[in-house]
Structure 1
Amino acid sequence: MESETALPKWASKPCIMGIDEAGRGPVLGPMVYGCLYCARSYQKTLSTLKFADSKTLKEEKREELFENLKADESIGWAVDVIDPRELSSKMLKKNKINLNEISHDSAMGLIRKVLSIGILLTEVTRDRALRDWVLDETAANMHTTFGSGYPGDPQTKAWLEDHKHSIFGFPTLVRFSWGTCTSYSKDMVEVLWETDDADEDGSDGRTGKRQLKLTNVGFTPVKRKSEETESSGKGRCKFFQARKLELLSHF
């Protein structure tokens, strides 16, 4: 990382930063958050340096790129290594701190660290993607003041509260399968869906009916091909088309 006592010349120009993590899923080892930052004017050059998802690179190539990164004076970087003991103690303590909160704190810590050494940080690439996100839904009262998107962000919490729907759950931007969303669903309507379900042994091809209770509002049962054809009518609102919903005049 660039020395804190000798800032690069480009530090006073508008800079961008990207944040990523490694080791969120494994049962062994630390979780590591890392950031890379550079002048916004260097972004096009950065895209030509052949950096890629580490999973797609061999170890030798990763090491080579790391050496190139350290030698490149137009780039700064920092990491936050979260010890497995810290992860375990936070997630198992009486007042549990979940992985999302730990991740949020790590990312925010990196941002604060880079700002504190004097880098004129004007954009973080994930924030930019979120800021420019085009919502599939078109309701007039929807807005894009998301905040950071992390569960601890008051602005994100307010956005989730404002945009939950008592039947349909959340807009498609939301990772509604995450436990973070559970607390927002307490006032939602309980919905029972009837769906075709093949016999367990599948021997005679007959179908029975069963009720699906959607405790996590927003999930829809997988439909058979014939159902998809029947419910793909044109001219309906995009919101309903995307969810294979149609208007019924009687039951």
Structure 2
Amino acid sequence: MSVVPIHSSQDIPSLKRPVDVVEETQDVESTPEVEPPTKKAKMEWLPPSVTEMENPFIFKTSTYHSEIPQEVLLNKSEPIVLGVDEAGRGPVLGPMVYGIAYGLESFSAKLQKEYGFADSKVLTEPKREELFKQIEEPTHELHKHIGWATTTITARDISSGMLQSAGKGAYNLNEQAHDTTINLIKGVLAKNVQVAKIFVDTVGPPASYQAKLSKIFPGIEVTVTKKADSLFPIVSAASVVAKVTRDKNIHFYNTTLETFKGKVLGSGYPADPNTKKWFNGNVDPVFGWHFGFIRFSWGTAKDSLEKNGAVPVVYEDSVKKTGGYKDVFAMISNKNKDSKIRKDYFASDKVDLL
């Protein structure tokens, strides 16, 4: 069974900065789910990693790269450091966002001492947004020194990868994270930015991941460690752009899709009471939840579907591969010993898929 998106590219205008928050609607045709344009609007800041999505309503993974900062271009002989971090690995709803930040090594100390960059989880939401705005403000020192990029991996694509049975089989979360990190770094190197050092907040065992990245990027000093977002200011900057991008992505859909509009979604983590209340109170018996925003591969989703009387679905791919009909729940059951998808992980807030 294939899922057809509820919107087409003709239905949705391209999303450009700044984004309007609805106050008064025009008399224009719109799709059932999408908030129509406004005649009178209140302006809200969103980062280009959200506004530059080509068509946000098909929920396709997207990547955004900033321009190379001025000081990096002017000081090509100075070593460049690059940091990598993510936001939203554990939640059952919304995307996982990988962020990178890079700049002159000589400037990186100022990120913490003068601007207060730190692990995004210890910063307040207003502080994170303020820092990101400063990076995006053309006249600000941070804009002239810090380049950045993000990849927003949608819930649709996370689950599609993890539940796929064709080809190599399940594309687990660690593999998705590694490939996304590698591609983001390659994107910066393709711009002829001479990166000397890479710092990564680990996914899985640090030693093996570091060896993997060192092999892919020979000649660059790679450090992979736990808590890198607290140890290295350039990783803290990456943490901020990733976290703000994810939060603003969720806020965008929370204010534009009728399914979520005005609803209290919580943090998205399975243990969050607000998330649990929305999750269990909005189960469609056939479709479950909105196809692009919920991670159907999570054990939390499976349990909620079963508990709330959803109709069992059999997928054609499962029939072809196994030679018999199987319930879709079997694909994400911890009873399947050969599966890489484990209920005990997805029903928890753990961050390492091992």
TM-score (norm 1): 0.49
Which of 1 and 2 has greater Rg? 1
The higher relative CO (CA closer than 8 Å, separation ≥ 6) is in 2
TM-score (norm 2): 0.36
The answer to which structure has the higher helix fraction is: 2
